[in-house]
């Protein structure tokens, strides 16, 4: 079997413990955990507010998420954190000489189907994360560590569905095979 | 000093924290859709290993920091629980995760590492988020089923937090060991040094049988707060909080809303008792509950605390005491200098709230005739 480790990546358990220490550190320092999907909500709310302010003010869910603090969207904690994630990833990949600009297809997926899967999968995740009140980072990791009941519902349901859908895709053979 | 140490400097911490997050995910190979696709095919257990190792590490850290008195967990933002919409969301999210082979965080890692599919996933995420946010008011029960809560497993299962932490730590280490064997990488059952540390901290957590963490909802901790009189605030202190515009302060009138409800404390919200269990509370809110006498407010206090909400107070002796001590204070017969100083403080606050401090001294236990006092038995 070829694992990520065979492709030059670190031992996942050590990387996981490192990630856990980052999460514990931010809870101690700032009283909050890691997140990702919340930054998309703040960005979407800011976009609605900029393009159609009447729609934003008429929708409480949107208006509550329009960044109101100093610095606007770039004063939002999660937005800055997510910019940090991309910077950290760039830095780490560069150090390991792993920057490969281009589309990375999983298995024998064609470039075209990879682009469609990225858009469609991204849309489903964006929608799902709003209903679930978080994603793998904010709800899964942070909520998991804080023993949130919703997080411990989300983790098995989301991963169970993911394994099931991946198996169905393999069986259908169309979008991804190999 | 008890953590969280720098809640006000959180924005400064965001960039370095994000960088640490990005480095850890990229090192593990999670910026590559191939790693996640291999996990979902059962070929490679990187995703599950990273996730469980991170949750166990942070969970043990949070439990022990709280247990040792270094962290006040009631000040940490807790994700919301609303089971039905979250289950629907988790199904949609899991399907999208399997299709994109990236999650929101790892899509940003992939983009940072130069993979264009990461950037495209970010575009999809933005669109999906936007659609649901615009449709939110029309989604009904699929979007919001029960009031927001910060429910935790120890509170919901009725188990001590230490037992839940220990069970997750020990079960998680077992899952990690099984994953290693499944990959064919681990041949021996001898646990690694990290696994021994996690098992030891988990077993010790069970031994503490600690119920005080993380939910503030445990009945013993609520009873302890009542016994230690940490459950109420004096009228003059509340008046100063309101005057100073204390941040996050919400004063809540739990009396029935009626035509004759009359006077309300300035700035207070009206939430009748039967709606208190569904009250939305943001992290950092300080809630002060009041009713005419104080019985209903005290009952509302217990309802909120059992939901795991901390930072809740009852106005001592309710609106009756507010009238006597803030709006219409009076000097006491035979007052010493300390009592006169207290009266002057009250009189100043009284004028600020539009009340009428009386100059006529009264006996210490005598109260202003009429007014709210006659309704005291109505709670």
3-state SS class at B81: strand
Q: What is the mean pLDDT of residues B175-179?
A: 87
Give the residue ranges of chain A where pLDDT is below 50: 175-178
Interface of B with A in 204-243 (CB under 8 A): 214-215
Q: What percent of chain B has pLDDT over 70?
A: 87
SS3 content of chain A, % helix, strand, coil (to 5): 70, 0, 30
Q: What is the pLDDT of residues B68-82, one digit of tens each?
A: 888 888 778 888 888
CB contact under 8 A, B126 and A31: no
Contact B220, B211 (CB under 8 A): yes
* B259-295 pLDDT, tens digit each: 456 788 888 888 888 888 888 877 667 899 999 888 8
Average pLDDT over residues B23-43: 91
For chain B, helix, strand, coil in percent to 5 are: 60, 5, 35
Size of interface A-B (CB pairs under 8 A): 571
Q: What is the ipTM of this complex?
A: 0.94
Beta-strand relationship, B232-233 and B286-290: unpaired
What pLDDT, on a 0 to 100 scale, did the predictor assign at position B103? 94
Class of domain B221-378: alpha beta
Task: Report chain A residues whose CB lies below 8 A from the CB of B162.
Answer: none
Going by the DSSP 8-state scheme, the letter that residue B293 receives in this structure is S
Q: What is the pLDDT of residue B371?
A: 45
Domain layout of chain B by residue ranges: 7-208, 221-378
pLDDT of A178 = 36
Which ranges in chain B belong to alpha helices (H)?
Answer: 10-28, 33-40, 46-67, 83-100, 104-112, 116-139, 153-157, 161-182, 193-208, 219-227, 235-243, 295-306, 318-322, 337-352
Question: What letter does residue B211 receive in the DSSP assignment?
Answer: -
Asked if residue B4 has a cis previous peptide bond (ω within 30° of 0), the answer is yes
Average pLDDT, chain B: 83
Whether the CB-CB separation of A168 and B40 falls below 8 Å is answered with no
pLDDT digits (tens, 9 = 90+) for B192-204: 888 889 999 999 9
| Residues from chain A contacting residue B35 (CB–CB below 8 Å) | 4, 9
- In angstroms, the CA A158 to CA A153 distance is 9
pLDDT in tens, A77-103: 899 999 999 999 999 999 998 887 888
All residues of chain B having their beta carbon less than 8 Å from the beta carbon of residue A48 are 130, 133-134
Task: Give the model's confidence band at B215: pLDDT under 50 very low, under 70 low, under 90 confident, else very high.
Answer: very low
CA distance B332 to B324: 12
Give contacts of B67 with chain A, Cβ < 8 Å: none
Query: How confident is the model at residue B145, as a pLDDT?
Result: 78
Q: Which residues contact B345 (CB under 8 A, 6 or more apart)?
A: B236
What pLDDT is recorded for position B283?
63
Q: Quick one: pLDDT at residue B260?
A: 57
Confidence at residue B214, expressed as pLDDT on a 0 to 100 scale: 44
Q: Do A130 and B132 touch (CB under 8 A)?
A: yes
Q: Does B10 touch chain A (CB under 8 A)?
A: yes
Judged by a CB distance cut-off of 8 A, whether residue B150 touches chain A is: yes
- From the list B172, B157, B148, the residue with the least C-alpha distance to B79 is B148
Question: What share of chain B has pLDDT > 90, as a percent?
Answer: 34
pLDDT tens figures, A22-31 = 999 999 988 8
Q: Which of A88, A141, A152 sits opposite B51 (nearest CB)?
A: A141
The predicted pLDDT at position B373 comes to 43
Q: For chain A, say whether B201 makes contact (Cβ under 8 Å).
A: no
């Amino acid at each position: 079997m070829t694992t990520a480790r065979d492709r030059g990546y670190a031992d996942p358990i050590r990387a996981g413990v490192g990630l856990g220490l980052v999460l514990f550190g931010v809870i101690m320092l700032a009283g909050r955990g890691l997140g990702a999907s919340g930054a998309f909500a703040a960005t979407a709310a800011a976009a609605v507010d900029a393009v159609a302010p009447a729609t934003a003010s008429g929708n409480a869910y949107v208006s509550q998420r329009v960044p109101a603090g100093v610095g606007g969207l770039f004063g939002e904690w999660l937005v800055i954190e997510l910019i940090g994630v991309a910077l950290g990833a760039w830095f780490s990949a560069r150090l390991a000489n792993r920057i490969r600009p281009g589309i990375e297809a999983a298995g024998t997926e064609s470039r075209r189907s990879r682009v469609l899967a990225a858009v469609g999968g991204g849309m489903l995740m964006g929608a799902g994360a709003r209903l679930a009140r978080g994603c793998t980072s904010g709800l899964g990791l942070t909520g998991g560590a804080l023993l949130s009941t919703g997080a411990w519902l989300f983790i098995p349901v989301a991963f169970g569905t993911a394994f099931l859908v991946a198996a169905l895709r393999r069986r259908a053979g169309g979008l991804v095979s190999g | 000093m008890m953590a969280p140490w720098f809640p006000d400097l959180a924005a400064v911490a965001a960039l370095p924290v994000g960088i640490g997050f990005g480095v850890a995910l990229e090192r593990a190979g999670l910026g590559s859709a191939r790693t996640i696709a291999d996990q979902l095919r059962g070929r490679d257990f990187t995703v599950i290993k990273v996730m469980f190792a991170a949750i166990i590490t942070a969970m043990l850290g949070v439990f022990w920091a709280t247990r040792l008195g270094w962290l006040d967990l009631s000040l940490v933002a807790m994700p919301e629980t609303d089971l039905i919409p979250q289950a629907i969301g988790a199904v949609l999210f899991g399907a999208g995760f399997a299709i994109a082979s990236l999650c929101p965080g790892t899509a940003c890692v992939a983009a940072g590492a130069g993979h264009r599919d990461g950037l495209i996933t970010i575009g999809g995420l933005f669109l999906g988020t936007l659609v649901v946010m615009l449709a939110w008011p029309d989604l009904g029960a699929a979007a919001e089923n029960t009031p927001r809560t910060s429910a935790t497993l120890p509170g919901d299962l009725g188990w001590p937090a230490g037992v839940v932490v220990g069970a997750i730590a020990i079960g998680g280490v077992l899952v990690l060991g099984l994953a290693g064997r499944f990959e064919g990488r681990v041949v021996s059952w001898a646990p690694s040094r990290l696994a021994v540390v996690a098992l030891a901290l988990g077993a010790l957590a069970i031994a503490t049988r600690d119920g005080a963490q993380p939910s503030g909802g445990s009945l013993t901790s609520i009873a302890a707060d009542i016994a230690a009189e940490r459950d109420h605030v004096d009228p003059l202190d509340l008046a100063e909080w309101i005057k100073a515009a204390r941040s996050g302060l919400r004063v809540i009138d739990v009396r029935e809303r009626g035509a004759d409800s009359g006077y309300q404390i300035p700035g207070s919200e009206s939430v009748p008792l039967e709606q208190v269990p569904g009250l939305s509370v943001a992290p950092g809110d300080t809630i002060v509950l009041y009713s005419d006498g104080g019985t209903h407010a005290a009952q509302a206090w217990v309802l909120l605390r059992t939901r795991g909400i901390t930072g809740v107070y009852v106005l001592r002796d309710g609106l009756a005491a507010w009238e006597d001590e803030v709006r219409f204070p009076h000097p006491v017969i035979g007052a010493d200098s300390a009592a006169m100083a207290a009266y002057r403080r009250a009189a100043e606050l009284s004028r600020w709230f539009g009340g009428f401090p009386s100059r006529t001294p009264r006996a210490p236990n005598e109260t202003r005739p009429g007014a709210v006092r006659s309704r005291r038995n109505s709670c």
